Amino acid sequence: MNSWSLAIKRFPFQRFMLFVLKVVSSLHGDLSYSFAEEMKRDFVIGNIAKDLGIDRGGFSSRQARVDFEGSRKMYCDINISTGDFTTMDRIDRESLCGKKPSCVLKADLVLENPLELHRVSLHIQDINDNSPQFKDHLIEMEISELADRGTRFPIEQAHDADIGQNAVQRYILQKNNHFILSVDNNNVDLVLENKLDREKQKEMNLLITALDGGSPQRSGTVVIHVTVLDANDNAPVFSQAVYKASLPENCPLDTTVIKVSATDADEGVNGDVTYDFGHISDNDDKVFCINPKTGEIKVCGLIDYEEKNYFEMKVQAKDGLGLTSYAKVLIDVIDNNDNSPVIYLKSLSNPIPENVPPGTEVGIINVQDKDSENNRQVRCSIQQGVPFKLVPSIKNYYSLVTTGQLDRELVSDYNITITATDEGSPPLSSSKSVQLSVADINDNPPVFEEQSYSAYVSENNKPGSTLCSVSARDPDWRQNGTVVYSLLAGEVNGAPVSSYLSVNGDTGVIHAVRSFDYEQFRKFKVHVMARDNGSPPLSSNVTVSVFISDVNDNSPQILYPSPEGNSFMTELVPKAAHGGSLVSKVIAVDADSGQNAWLSYQIVKSTDPGLFTIGVHSGEIRTQRDISESDSMKQNLVVAVKDNGQPSLSATCSMYLLISDNLDLSYNESNSKLTSYLIIALVSVSTFFLTFIIIILGLRFCRRRKPRLLFDGAVAIPSGYLPPNYADVDGTGTLRSTYNYDTYLTTGSRTSDFKFLVKLVLVLLMKCFKNNFSTFIATGFKWCSLTTFNTRHIYLMEK
Ligand SMILES: *[C@@H]1O[C@H](CO)[C@@H](O)[C@H](O)[C@H]1NC(C)=O
Ligand SMILES: *[C@@H]1O[C@H](CO)[C@@H](O)[C@H](O)[C@H]1NC(C)=O
Ligand SMILES: *[C@@H]1O[C@H](CO)[C@@H](O)[C@H](O)[C@H]1NC(C)=O
Ligand SMILES: *[C@@H]1O[C@H](CO)[C@@H](O)[C@H](O)[C@H]1NC(C)=O
Ligand SMILES: CC(=O)N[C@H]1CO[C@H](CO)[C@@H](O)[C@@H]1O
């Protein structure tokens, strides 16, 4: 009863009922027992003795035993003493029968004494003692991300040793995004419902649970590890659609401009991005390089803002299998002040006439700078100290204009340095030299080097001799400055100047055309003109004064006594004359002047050398001692008159002296006759001339105040008294101050002015009539000399 209660305890009620039914059915004939597998040892299946209706004592005596057919293994045994049929070991249905739906163990119950044989069937019932089981716990599976929807991936089924309801009944797939499970007959498939994307999820674990129908239910799981295989389904993607960079020009090679980068979601070769330029012009290609691996864009060539200030390029990113994408790279080049301004001379009036008014435009200058912005702002200037300036004109044009009057004669060439400086930092500058010459205008007349010229020439010069030279300068250019000299027309003493002088037109040398005679005129003036060859010509003139200097070319001329030396000229000397008495006088003149006319008198020969002397300069002959009885009545003197010239010239005359007792003026009949004629003539003429002279003197004195006449006494002696060649050339000329010009003239006595006047009148007469009336003159003088002379000097001084 214990075993029943045990059985009741171990098995659910239904089983128990089934068990009971089986036992009951075996009551008739063979014994049949049914019990669950996995009962533990000594589980009492039933009491055979009881079922066979044999008492317990009888049972043991009959040697009851159990034989299992064909098997050496004893699954069950009989307690002889009790008749209980018990399990000898645990019975596993699955190992005995596998998947067979019914599992029956057959045994023979043998009783001896009498031998009795009973068949015993042991029905072993399945219990859910096995879980569904997959072959592996983890299934690795690789699926391309390109796999289409609906693709099936078979999974090996789970195995459950149990049978029937206890075997695998269904499968459950853990919830996921991509797969569902399809169980169809004996196939379990994973079906791809949503496409895979490696880039989103590159692997996943799917848990499949297999469930049996037992109670309690048992399950088994498997994990399917799905690795999503990459397909090159992603193009590289740039981090920016447009890359912008700026770059100073002239930057060194290998400067990194910018780095582009693209990523590719793919893996391995599919994700290996290489960079290159997309479409790019050949020129830009030389300027930039791209590192295919890193995407760094570097400078490989010369960046010149002036050539190109903006680059636009495409860069390409390509993965291993050739998917590409593009981005733009914009590079701004920043200007550097690397270009100096350039100065162009657009036009230049060269040469410029010197008479252009200030403000005249002479040139146009254009300045260019290839840089930009401030770097191309250019300021222009020219150096100080030139009469030019730059006037900004439109845009970057400048006019070069004059600021003042130009004068070729001062500055004929200008080097104008134009400097252009831009406003970059540091600023660059350049300069250009413009050479400008000033063209001549005939704006300067010739100018003589001296205000006036004087030429000194000795008289009796040779015709053609050089007197002097004039020279004028004209600073103008070429013919405008070429000076030609000429004489201005004029007259000298009534003759044209050209008959006196000539001037060499080229050299300005003045030649005498003829020989001059000091005694004729002492000086004259001519005007020389210097004229240039310009058109119209300019000229100026200068005065050339020619001074003729005296040469001792005139011998003294003895007026008294007459050089002929006839007896008429005999002087009477009273015997009573004391020593020192004036006896006579030698009168001589010299047409020269100055020293050349300074006369000295000398007695070179005399009858009685001790008796007479002569005043060296006065020419007065005086007795040296009282005349004595012994002296000869007739005395002859030879007087030499010398001038002071170098060499000196001289003349001689003889004087006859007669010493007489009474000095009566007894004349020959003819003499007295002549004397009376003379007296009549003198009286009448002198009256007339006195008036005339007074009138002339008055006129001259008033009009010119020259010559000044110095006189003492009542009588004026005009220069007209002198021989004609003593006269001034024009009566007004000037003499050199050193040229002391005086005339020594010995005249009559202090007391007989009238007589002197008469003598003068005689000379005047002679001059007037130009009559060589020598006898007349001689007689006149003779008459005059009869009176006693006192020495009187008349100085005729002219300034
Ligand atoms: C101008 O420059 C040239 C050469 O550059 C030189 O020969 C000439 O003498 C200069 N002239 C002046 C006026 O400076
Ligand atoms: C001389 O001056 C004139 C104007 O007065 C000018 O036309 C001419 O060209 C000048 N001659 C020379 C050689 O410079
Ligand atoms: C000579 O020059 C002066 C001034 O220098 C001038 O007054 C005069 O008219 C000129 N004479 C001639 C003939 O040119
Ligand atoms: C008068 O003159 C003549 C000759 O001229 C002369 O021979 C004569 O002696 C003179 N008589 C007197 C008195 O001098
Ligand atoms: C051999 C054997 O197991 N005998 C047993 C039979 O039953 C009695 C009573 O329960 C036992 O005492 C024996 O040992």
pLDDT of 210-231, one tens digit each?
Answer: 999 888 899 999 999 999 888 8
Task: Verify whether ligand 1 is closer than 6 Å to residue 415 (CB atom).
Answer: yes
Confidence at residue 764, expressed as pLDDT on a 0 to 100 scale: 58
What does the pLDDT read at residue 746?
Answer: 36
Determine the pLDDT at residue 646.
Answer: 85
Q: What token pair was written down for 551?
A: 């040469």
pLDDT of res. 448:
94
> pLDDT band for position 660 (50/70/90)?
confident
> H or E segment at 389?
strand 388-392
Please give the distance, rounded to the nearest whole angstrom, from the Cα atom of residue 544 to the centre of ligand 1: 43
Task: Give the model's pLDDT for residue 502.
Answer: 93
- Rounded to the nearest whole angstrom, what is the distance from the C-alpha of residue 432 to the centroid of ligand 3? 49
What's the rounded Cα separation, in Å, for the pair 614 and 637? 10
Pocket test for ligand 1, best of 413, 417, 431 (most atoms within 8 A of CB): 413
Please provide the distance, in angstroms rounded to a whole number, between the alpha carbons at the two ends of the chain: 206
How far is the centre of ligand 1, averaged over its atoms, from the C-alpha of 415 (Å)?
6
Contact assessment for residue 173 and residue 205, using Cβ atoms and an 8 Å cutoff:
no
378 neighbors 344 (Cβ within 8 angstroms): no
Nearest residue (by CA) to ligand 4, atom 7, is 668
pLDDT tens per residue, range 667-719: 455 556 667 777 888 888 888 988 998 998 888 877 654 433 333 333 333 33
Determine the residue type at 689: F
Which whole-number Å values give the CA distances from 363 to 142, 230, 344, 349, in the listed order?
Answer: 89, 79, 11, 6
| Among protein residues, the one whose CA lies closest to atom 7 of ligand 2 | 441
Q: Among the atoms of ligand 2, which is closest to the Cα of residue 439?
A: 14
Q: Examine the pLDDT at 628 and tell me if it is beyond 50.
A: yes
What's the whole-number mean pLDDT along residues 81-88? Answer: 86
What is the best residue among 541, 542, 543, 544 to mutate for testing ligand 3's pocket, by most ligand atoms within 8 Å of CB? 541
774-785 and 753-769 are packed helices; what angle lies between their axes, rounded to 10 degrees?
170
Q: How confident is the model at residue 753 (pLDDT cuts 50, 70, 90)?
A: very low
Relative orientation angle of helices 13-25 and 2-10, to the nearest 10 degrees = 130
615 CA to centre of own chain: 96
Convert the pLDDT of each residue in 250-260 to its tens digit.
889 999 999 99
Q: Which among 570, 662, 663, 668 is the best mutation to test ligand 4's pocket, defined by most ligand atoms within 8 Å of the CB?
A: 668
pLDDT value of residue 678: 79
Q: Residue 417: what pLDDT?
A: 92
Tell me the per-residue pLDDT of 108-132, one tens digit each, with 9 for 90 and over. Answer: 888 888 888 888 888 988 888 889 9
pLDDT at residue number 66: 85
Distance 480 CA to ligand 2 centre (A): 6
The minimum-distance atom of ligand 5 relative to the CA of 81 is: 6
State how far the Cα of 797 lies from the Cα of 737, in Å rounded to an integer. 12
Per-residue pLDDT at 13: 43
Read off the pLDDT band of 20 (50, 70, 90).
Answer: very low
Closest ligand to C-alpha of residue 669 is 4
| Confidence (pLDDT) at 564 | 65
User: What does each C-alpha distance from 695 to 645, 703, 757 come to in angstroms?
Assistant: 38, 12, 16
Residues 358 and 615: their CA atoms lie apart, in Å, by 82
614 contacts 601 by C-beta, under 8 angstroms: yes
Task: Tell me the pLDDT band of 565, cut-offs 50, 70 and 90.
Answer: low
CA of 558 to the centre of ligand 4 (A): 27
The C-alpha atoms of residue 446 and residue 395 are separated, in whole angstroms, by 48
**Beta strands, E only, 600-736:** 600-606, 612-614, 620-623, 634-642, 650-660
For residues 758-778, average pLDDT: 52
Angle of CA points 613, 629, 626, to nearest 5°: 35
Distance of CA 760 to the CA centre of its chain: 95
Strands 31-36 and 116-125: what pairing?
parallel
What average pLDDT does the chain have?
80
Query: Residues enclosing ligand 5, CB less than 6 A?
Result: 79, 81-82
**416 CA distance to ligand 1 middle (Å):** 9
Q: What is the pLDDT of residues 240-250, one digit of tens each?
A: 999 999 999 88
**160-184 pLDDT tens trace:** 888 888 888 899 999 998 999 998 8
- Lowest-confidence pick of 320-324, 735-739, 754-758: 735-739
At residue 510, the 3 state secondary structure works out as: strand
- pLDDT range class, residue 397, cuts 50, 70, 90: very high
Helix axes 774-785, 669-704, angle to 10 degrees: 90
Cα 715 to Cα 618, 689, 690, 709, distances in angstroms = 20, 13, 10, 10
In this structure, are residues 780 and 762 in contact, taking their beta carbons and an 8 Å threshold? yes
Rounded Cα distance, 144 and 470, in Å? 125
User: Which ligand gives the minimal distance to the CA of 60?
Assistant: 5
What's the CA-to-centroid distance between 30 and ligand 5, angstroms? 25
Instruction: Report residue 183 as tokens.
Output: 């169980």
- Ligand 3 atom at minimal distance to the Cα of residue 539: 14
CA of 271 to the centre of ligand 4 (A): 178
> d(Cα 759, Cα 784) in Å, to the nearest integer?
7
Q: What is the mean pLDDT of residues 76-80?
A: 85
User: For residue 498, what are the contacts with CB-CB under 8 A and spacing of at least 6?
Assistant: 487, 489, 513
Residue-wise pLDDT for 602-622, tens only, equals 999 888 888 899 999 988 989
The answer for residues whose C-beta is within 8 angstroms of residue 308's C-beta and 6 or more apart is: 283, 284, 333
Please check the confidence at residue 158 and state whether its pLDDT lies above 90. Answer: no
Please tell me if the CB atom of residue 246 comes closer than 6 angstroms to any atom of ligand 1: no
**H helix and E strand count, the chain:** 9, 51
Q: In the structure, what pLDDT confidence band is assigned to residue 759 with cuts at 50, 70 and 90?
A: low
Q: Are 295 and 259 in contact (CB under 8 A)?
A: yes
Output the CA 674–ligand 3 centroid distance in Å: 61
- 686 vs 96: CA distance, rounded Å: 218
Minimum CA distance residue for ligand 5 atom 1: 79
Q: What is the pLDDT of residues 721-746, one digit of tens each?
A: 333 333 333 333 333 333 333 333 33
751 compared with 78, residue with greater pLDDT:
78
Please give the distance, rounded to the nearest whole angstrom, from the Cα atom of residue 119 to the centre of ligand 2. Answer: 168
pLDDT of 787 reads: 36
